[in-house]
Structure 1
Amino acid sequence: MDETKQVKLLETMMEFDRGDPMRIQHFLKVWGFARQIGKMEELDERTQEILETAAIVHDIGIKVCLEKYGNCTGKHQEEEGPALAEKMLTELGYDAELISRVSFLVGHHHTYTNVKGIDYQILLEADFLVNSYEGQKKSETIEAFCRNVFRTPSGIRLLSLQSGLKLGE
């Protein structure tokens, strides 16, 4: 993984979300959880790079959604985000194959069915780990989401540790 390129992407996303510390904090936390789960699951280097890149840009569509629709529903984010991610990643010199997969992940990060690929699975889990805390989700919601969406042993472990609930045990 090209760490210099990743540092530039992080800075570019922070510039994109300038003045919105909640959004910046959110994507940094999702990236941190995605990175941790990916390392715990021992992803190959390329899949880890795709995962971490997608985690950084996963909510890139929110600003446009708020301007265009007055809300940022998951569906709108999935519609608006991929083109913005593609543009940013192209400008930063990422390769076409990575851009294509990251675009797919950005366009599906609120879709919890037909999950294909460990990068997709981990992105969903990392985003929920952050959203469950930021949204102060109830135990029942966390347990149901864990049961219905989480699949990686590492994601389940981190959710259990964070929530204090006995999940997947």
Structure 2
Amino acid sequence: MKNTGSVINAMIRYYSGDIKRINHFIKVYGYSKAIGEMENLDDKTREILEVTAVVHDIGIKVSEEKYHSSAGHYQQLEGPAVAADMLENLGYEQEFIERVCYLIAHHHTYTNIDGLDYQILVEADFLVNLDEDKTPGDGIRNVKQNIFRTKTGISFLNHLFGV
């Protein structure tokens, strides 16, 4: 069945027992959904964003097995193929899957951001990572200045971290 709930279900099964990874993608999904709605994304772009938020780190499992690392560049390399298989099995169309895979393959690349779905995904992932990594104030201010662009993402960052 093709809906975000089925993607979340598939990802919980994929990361069965790894509550840290599951909680991470659920938080990124929540911020992505909220920012996408507040920034008035059209329905198709919002669906792409929300599904990508759920699967954005799907490459970690393969990266850790293959390279003994969860580094971003390995996630970007390994994630698209795993996500494509999952999304095909859930009934998503090829064009949709291609955009999701593109976003997965670039979500740790912060130059040449080519769409609001990409920008919001990056911002949502940062909102979660800044907290999970206990990033100090200077690092948060640097990310705000260099990465964040949406009005909603900046507002969330200000209210969450007091910057």
Answer yes or no: same fold by TM over 0.5.
yes
Instruction: Give 1:164 deviation, angstroms.
Output: 1.4
Match of 2:83 among 60, 82, 85: 85
Question: Per-residue CA shift, 1:27-67, capped at 9, x if unaligned?
Answer: 00000000000001010000000000100000000010000
Match of 1:13 among 1, 11, 14: 11
- 1:138-149 equivalent positions in 2, closer than 5 A: 138-149=136-147
Tell me how far apart the structure 2 counterparts of residues 18 and 146 of structure 1 sit (CA, whole Å).
34
Tell me how far apart the structure 2 counterparts of residues 46 and 156 of structure 1 sit (CA, whole Å).
23
* Equivalent position SS for 1:104: helix
Tell me how far apart the structure 2 counterparts of residues 112 and 5 of structure 1 sit (CA, whole Å).
28
- 1:1-169 equivalent positions in 2, closer than 5 A: 5-165=3-163
Instruction: Give 1:8 deviation, angstroms.
Output: 1.0
The count of aligned residue pairs is 163
Tell me how far apart the structure 2 counterparts of residues 28 and 21 of structure 1 sit (CA, whole Å).
10
Tell me how far apart the structure 1 counterparts of residues 5 and 110 of structure 2 sit (CA, whole Å).
29
Q: Which runs of 5+ in 1 are unaligned?
A: none
Percent sequence identity over aligned pairs: 49
* Equivalent position SS for 1:9: helix
* Equivalent position SS for 1:120: helix
Instruction: Give 1:7 deviation, angstroms.
Output: 1.0
* Equivalent position SS for 2:112: coil
Tell me how far apart the structure 2 counterparts of residues 129 and 54 of structure 1 sit (CA, whole Å).
16
Runs (4+) off by over 4 Å: none
Q: Which runs of 5+ in 2 are unaligned?
A: none
Name the Cα RMSD after superposition: 1.0
